[in-house]
Structure 1
Amino acid sequence: MRFLVLGGTAWLGHRIAATALERGHDVTCLARGSAVPDGAELVVADRDDPRELPLPAGAHWDVVVDVARQPGHVRRAVRELRSRSGRYVFVSTGNVYASQSDEGADETAKLLPALVADSFTDPDHYGPAKVACESAVLAAFGSGRSLIARAGLIGGPGDPTGRTDYWPRRFARETAGDSISGGPVLVPDAPDLPTALIDVRDLADWLVRAAEAGTAGVFNAGGTPVPFPAHLDAARAAARAVTRSTAPTVVAAERWLLDRGVSEWAGPRSLPLWVSDRSWYGMNARSSAAARAAGLTVRPLEDTLRDAALAHESDSPFPGGAGLAPAHEHDLVVELETARESPPAAPQ
């Protein structure tokens, strides 16, 4: 088959292109950069350029794969490729849903209103922008010639956010030579928080195989939801591939962490994957049963975490600045343990 990957230089797009090549397909990548997989044809293009895409004259592709987030990019692509490709695979997101509170919700859940504009910069417009992208694909290719994959949180080797490898690397750091770098691991008290990671390799493999099979439809494509403590258990087990980790955990109340400026989810000063707002618990607990029935398979969480941790040098910075700096975490642990050891004040 002939694949046209709109992208192919960044994390997921590169993995999709590489997977298609590994499975014996001809792959063309249309991208601004040049770091496409070996064996792929590169067409250099900037999708922000309003001119027509510089596609080879007369070329036709069996499938187009698009991971774009800007509606204008997708609207132009489907317009120009509708007659030049057989199928369109679009990687969307679970952020398209109007509510993130319902655990187990499937693809019939209500969507956000589509973004009218062709581009956005406000992160709050990400979900509506992806809704607009989906609408453009379905309008041009129809339900029979398109596959919409509403991906859950993507993880695995190369995760640019640090969310995948923070916890296994943090447990592995327990063997550092000083108490600040390798002391107890601070974790939030969130026993009911669902977490789910779909390995980038599993998502790419399924998208390519689905294209081969002519699979059409709209699918949630997420990892297997597990409670946050089970995710930490898998991270500790994954850390044993790096060290003989026996690091203890120190559990802190969510309100206590928030009051001290600890961030949620990702980025600097954060405890990655932690979400305190219960109205977002459904985000990582959607049903992917339809995708599983259509051939999606996912590897064990421990394998994803281990491979992500091994992909980085143990002393390298966390991608995206994720997590707590060792000194900051140490200070928080000391404060928390000191407060727990101090006797309550006598009544006046």
Structure 2
Amino acid sequence: MRILVLGGTAFLSSEIARQAVAAGHRVTCLARGSAAEPPAGVAWVQADRSLGADSYMALAGGWDAVIEVARDPVPATAALTALAGRTGHWTFVSSCSVYADHSTPDAAEDAPLLQPLAPGTPSTPENYGESKAAIERETLRATGGNAHLCRAGLIGGPGDASDRYGYWPARFARDNRAAVVPDIGGHATQVIDVRDLAAWILTAAEHGVTGPLNAVGDSVPFGDYVAESQSAAGFSGEVLDASEDWLVAHGINYWSGPGSLPLWLPPGHGGFCTRSNRSARAAGLRTRPWQETLADTLADERSRGLERHRKAGLTPATEALLAEELLLSR
């Protein structure tokens, strides 16, 4: 297949390009390359997509498949205008953040969506879901519905720059000082390995799969994930369970970002990590055991440095202060 990856230098898009080359496809990546270069074996077209239609002038001929990972509707719409008419199959890597409700467990692809971002409204992290919903709408319009809307969940695995899924195994590997853990053992986590997601996107393109499909892994209780993280890391210290109310009162953030406890979700998100993946599995999605993803993530965390600055999680100093207060309150 002649495949165009709109991106190819970061986490998921790079993995897609790498696997596509390994599978024998002819792969072109269109990317700025300001932070990294695409994998070896691809044809690299350097372009700044903020320039609009001019970005695609060097892309000649037709494509068997185009894979789009954008989060901003403006460049995504420009790409559709320039390329959809000469592309056999279009994949848009969307997100489960397009759903309007995150409280219902086992929700499928027919769940209500957010209102798409209004034209002319800047795309920001705060309207991420609305931005992805807008790109879904434009993708369906431009392709006449002949597109795969790959609604990915939390993506983990080696190379994850968000520092969310890797926080816990890295924390337990870092040292054996008392670890502060939210008391949510029965709550669900749900991650898809970046390598499995990339393989699924290529499989879907090869077989002409279309429509919206939840690309998510199976749900795993947070307590099981934390226990496996401790075991994999060889942690022998004390685990201090902290109630959700106590953590909120101490200014600890949910889910991601600085000063957070990753994978801990706010109230009303009981369905966020329990999305149904039945339709995607029926269409060909395959995922590896989550323990394998965790082990490989830990190996990646060790190689990147357990003491490095992280985009998500508690700093050792903040955790030490919290642990001291929890121990004193006994």
TM-score using structure 2 length? 0.94
- 1:282 equivalent among 271, 285, 293: 271
The match for 1:8 is: 8
**Alignment match, 1:323:** 313
The DSSP-based 3-state class of the residue aligned with 2:229 is helix
Report deviation, 1:119: 5.5
Q: CA contact under 8 A between 2:53 and 2:78: conserved in structure 1?
A: no
> What is the percent sequence identity of the aligned residues?
43
C-alpha contact 2:56 2:82 (8 A) present in aligned 1: no
Matched, 1:235 2:229: yes
Pairwise CA distance, 1:159: 0.8
Greater Cα radius of gyration, structure 1 or 2: 1
Instruction: Decide which of 186, 207, 211 is 1:213's aligned counterpart.
Output: 207
SS at match of 1:197: strand
Partner amino acid, structure 1, of 2:109 = E
Helix, strand or coil at the partner of 1:150: strand
2:32 maps to 32
Q: Distance in 2 between matches of 1:305 and 1:78?
A: 36
**1:55 positional shift:** 3.8
1:109 is displaced (CA, Å) by 0.5
Partner Cα distance (1:236, 1:299) in 2: 20
Checking the alignment, whether the CA contact within 8 Å between 2:85 and 2:143 is kept in structure 1 is: no
Q: In the alignment, is residue 186 of structure 1 matched against residue 180 of structure 2?
A: yes
Aligned residue identity for 1:42: W
Residue type matched to 1:3 in 2?
I
Deviation at 1:22, TM superposition (A): 0.9
Q: Residues of 2 paired with 1:318 and 1:170: CA distance?
A: 12
Q: Which runs of 5+ in 2 are unaligned?
A: none
1:203 and 2:197 aligned: yes
Q: How does 1:104-253 map to 2 (within 5 A)?
A: 104-118=106-120, 120-143=122-145, 145-174=146-175, 182-239=176-233, 244-253=234-243
Which residue of 2 is the match for residue 86 of structure 1? Answer: 88
Aligned to 1:344: none
Instruction: Determine the structure 1 residue equivalent to 2:21.
Output: 21
CA contact (8 A) 1:168 1:235 kept: yes
The answer to whether the 8 A contact 1:159-1:319 is kept is no
Aligned to 1:178: none
- For the 8 Å contact 2:182–2:264, the answer to whether it is kept is yes
Asked if the contact 2:209–2:283 (Cα under 8 Å) also holds between the matched residues in 1, the reply is yes
Look up the match of 1:100. Answer: 102
CA contact (8 A) 1:69 1:129 kept: yes
Q: In the TM superposition, what is the alpha-carbon distance from 1:149 to its structure 2 partner?
A: 0.5
Q: Classify 1:327/1:173 alpha carbon distance in 2 versus 1 (closer, same or farther; 3 Å).
A: same
Partners of 2:227 and 2:59 in 1: CA distance: 54
Deviations along 1:205-230, one digit per CA (max 9) or x if unpaired, are 11011111111121011111112111
**Alpha-carbon distance in structure 2 between the residues aligned to 1:123 and 1:261:** 21
Alignment counterpart, residue 251 of structure 2, candidates 258, 261, 265:
261
Over 3 Å counting, the alpha-carbon distance change for 1:64 and 1:119 in structure 2 is: farther
Post-superposition offset of 1:154: 0.5
TM normalised by structure 1 equals 0.90
Q: Deviations over 1:23-69 (max 9, x none)?
A: 11010001111510101111111111134333446421100000001
